[in-house]
């Protein structure tokens, strides 16, 4: 088929690569002249790692990323709030902290055969029934056999595919930066510190990126969205003092960051659609289901969406039957994460001090209860499907993870890329 993709973030990149490898003719439209990553770092869960494994990119990702075995959060006074260890669910499992630039570079380098990327081409309108797009210069592209809209959480096109049932900005966002990771005490843990729900600092080891061997940490600082407005910056001294009050070690790590220029801003949306497709056009990634980052699943969901779209196109005889099946399969997985991210966000980013106080007292003990512990760990790893179901990992992939777990960190050294066999389209 002739497939158009709007957006060259993680969802668009993965879709372009997967669909091109199946023999489809793919064209990608990206509004910025020089495409690149947006954001500092993220945590790939086992479900996202499985997609990279299918693409033959797991080993390169491991060579750049940082394996994460534990997520630990505490109050500024040292009271445990969250303590999640992958090995308690399955000794083969771990997360992988990565710089967004690293994943972008790996996916970009892998998509070379049949590559058609229209950079600096902003799409402003589309016809979902004809799968045709119009750029900012008034030029039309298409019609395509299939049009994939993957232009992210701030999508300007989602409403032209289907009207959103909910599309709202979260009142809280974050400031991000990357800092050198030498001498950090917790090289295999995502660590967080909280002051009620008003302040949250996080440090995630994210490894290196192509062209830069320095292994880094991604620093996260929770901030009301209003603080991003002009004139709201409180000054460098006040900002550093606030961070130091929450977490002295983190404040010391970010001392090399130039303020405020060195801080990237992240805003979040909560978007729900009754349908993700119309005609021959489909939404994927954050364009379809933007959510709070509390569960850290954005990139993982984008990769899974791209793989699921490839799979239904293999199974179905036409786009008309493929798109409803794609939505059905992905909703069965995504909806529970949408639910929990919406309800967990006020516990960590809000002005609700009483709710945060209850979190500090009860969250950690509740998640230590054996039955709830396993359920919580499945949500963390991305393997929860619905309320009580499971999203299984393939046996060969799990075996590969088990090998890596027994080999230790040395297994993250660069190695030959081997693409696993996949069924023919």
At 81-112, the pLDDT tens digits run 999 999 999 999 999 999 999 999 999 999 99
Q: What is the reported pTM?
A: 0.92
pLDDT of residue 364: 92
Contacts of 133 (CB under 8 A, 6+ apart): 4, 6, 29, 123, 125, 126, 127, 140, 141, 142, 147
- The angle at the Cα of 147, spanning 146 to 148, to the nearest 5 degrees, equals 120
pLDDT of residue 229: 79
Q: Which of 79, 56, 156, 172 is nearest to 361 (CA)?
A: 79
User: 209-245 burial, b if ≥16 CB within 10 A, otherwise e?
Assistant: bbeeeebbbbbbbbbbbeeeeeeeeeeeeebbeebee
pLDDT of residue 419: 38
pLDDT of residue 408: 60
Low-confidence spans in the chain with pLDDT less than 50 = 410-425
Q: Show the domains of the chain with their CATH numbers.
A: 1-33+120-169+269-346 (3.50.50.60), 37-100+171-267+352-419 (3.30.9.10)
pLDDT of residue 384: 92
| Cis bond upstream, residue 260 (ω within 30) | yes
User: 338-364 burial, b if ≥16 CB within 10 A, otherwise e?
Assistant: bebbbebbbbbbbeeeeebeebbeebb
pLDDT of residue 420: 38
pLDDT of residue 37: 82
> For the chain, give me the number of helices (H) and strands (E)?
13, 23
pLDDT of residue 405: 78
pLDDT of residue 76: 93
pLDDT of residue 342: 86
Contacts of 108 (CB under 8 A, 6+ apart): 13, 35
């Amino acid at each position: 088929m002739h497939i158009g993709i709007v957006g060259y973030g993680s969802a668009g990149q993965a879709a372009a690569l997967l669909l091109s490898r199946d023999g489809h003719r793919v064209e990608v439209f990206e509004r910025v002249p020089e495409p690149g990553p947006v954001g500092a770092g993220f945590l790939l869960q086992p479900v996202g790692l499985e997609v990279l494994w299918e693409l033959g990119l797991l080993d390169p990702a491991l060579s750049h990323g940082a394996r994460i075995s534990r997520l630990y959060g505490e109050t500024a006074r040292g009271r445990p709030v969250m303590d999640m260890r992958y090995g308690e669910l399955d000794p083969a499992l771990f997360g992988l902290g990565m710089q967004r630039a690293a994943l972008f570079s790996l996916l970009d380098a892998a998509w070379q055969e049949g590559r058609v990327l229209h950079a600096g081409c902003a799409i402003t309108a589309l016809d979902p029934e004809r799968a045709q797009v119009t750029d900012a210069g008034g030029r039309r592209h298409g019609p395509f056999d299939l049009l994939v809209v993957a232009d992210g959480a701030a999508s300007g096109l989602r409403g032209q595919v289907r009207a959103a049932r909910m599309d709202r900005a979260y009142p809280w966002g974050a400031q991000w930066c990357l800092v050198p990771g030498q001498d950090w005490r917790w090289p295999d843990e995502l660590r967080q510190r909280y002051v009620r729900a008003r302040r949250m600092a996080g440090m995630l080891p994210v490894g290196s990126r192509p062209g830069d061997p320095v292994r880094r940490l991604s620093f996260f600082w929770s901030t009301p969205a209003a603080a991003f407005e002009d004139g709201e910056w409180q000054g460098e001294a006040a900002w550093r003092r606030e961070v130091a009050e929450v977490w002295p070690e983190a404040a010391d790590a970010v001392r090399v960051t130039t303020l405020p220029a060195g801080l990237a801003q992240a805003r979040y949306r909560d978007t729900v659609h009754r349908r993700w497709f119309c005609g021959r056009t489909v939404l994927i990634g954050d364009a379809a289901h933007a959510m709070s980052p509390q569960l850290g699943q954005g990139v993982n969901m984008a990769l899974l969406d791209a793989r699921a779209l490839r799979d239904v196109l293999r199974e179905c005889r036409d786009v008309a039957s493929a798109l409803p099946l794609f939505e059905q399969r992905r909703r069965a997985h995504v909806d529970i994460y949408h639910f929990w991210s919406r309800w967990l966000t006020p516990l960590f980013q809000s002005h609700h001090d009483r709710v945060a106080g209850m979190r500090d007292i009860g969250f950690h003990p509740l998640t230590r209860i054996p039955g709830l512990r396993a359920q919580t760990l499945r949500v963390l790893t991305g393997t929860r499907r619905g309320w009580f179901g499971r999203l299984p990992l393939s046996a060969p992939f799990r075996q590969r993870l088990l090998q890596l777990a027994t080999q230790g960190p040395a297994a993250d050294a660069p190695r030959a890329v081997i693409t696993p066999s996949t069924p023919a389209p």
